[in-house]
Amino acid sequence: MRALMGLIKDRHGTYHAQRKVPERLQEAVARVLKSEKPKQVFLKKSLGTKVLREANVAATHVLADFNRTLASAEALLKERPVVATLTDAMIKRMAEWVHATSAGAEGHSEGVGAAQGSGLWGRRAALENLEESEMTEYVIRFLVGGAVVSAFAMLGDLLRPKSFAGLFGAAPSVALATLGIAVYQHGAGYAALQAQAMIAGAIALAIYSVVVCQLLVRAKLRAVMATLLSLVVWLVAAFGLLMFAGGQT
């Protein structure tokens, strides 16, 4: 399995996510992170694992946090743009501003309040854009998942015999929709990790079902006790399969 872009290993073999900050955003990122450094050249965070498969999964969330930090820095940079040269008109406006601020404390306070209000508005707009993009993803998941579920239900009603059509009723329609969105947004590698976790869950569910049946029929346990005991088997099977799959990478 290939590592995602931005994954590195330290000398102990632990994976880290790292991203180079564009030079024009380095000062703004340092302000966003409230760093003591004047510039933030790299964004870096430990993923706390030495297993590549687990590192790839964890890195997607960390890299998303890096993107949010860079977006906040972009918004901050728009509030306080860097000016390389001063024109005559800009110098004149600066002189007028200095004269106005020296005329009285009231004018100075109003100017500072307006600048602070503009800064707060820019940060609020950036946060609203991030929340809107996340909400859009949830809506897409809901619509695509519902459409796939409806399609499988229609196939189950149309096909004959019903014993064959029932296979479509048990099809993992929501899982297929989720994998399709994962491939589109994060690539085949990320979707493959999700698919392997789904396979492990399906095998664990089959083992759980067999154990429940045996406890109900042979041990004559009550349904609640049988299901609770079988949940332990399900957890052991699911996490055991995931650990085994992770060790093969």
More confidently predicted of 212 and 142 = 212
pTM: 0.39
Q: For residue range 46-72, list pLDDT tens digits in order.
A: 888 888 888 888 888 888 888 888 888
- Centre a 10 Å sphere on the Cβ of residue 191 and count the other Cβ atoms it contains: 18
pLDDT at 213: 93
Domain-wise residue ranges, the chain: 1-82, 199-249
- d(C-alpha 85, C-alpha 188), whole Å: 47
Q: Which residues contact 111 (CB under 8 A, 6 or more apart)?
A: 97, 100, 101
Under 8 Å between Cβ of 230 and 208: yes
Which band of pLDDT confidence, cut at 50, 70 and 90, is reported for residue 212?
very high
pLDDT at 195: 84
Q: For residue range 107-145, list pLDDT tens digits in order.
A: 444 554 554 555 555 556 655 665 666 667 667 767 776
Which band of pLDDT confidence, cut at 50, 70 and 90, is reported for residue 249?
very low
Q: Which residues contact 98 (CB under 8 A, 6 or more apart)?
A: none
Q: Which of 35, 121, 38, 41 is nearest to 76 (CA)?
A: 121
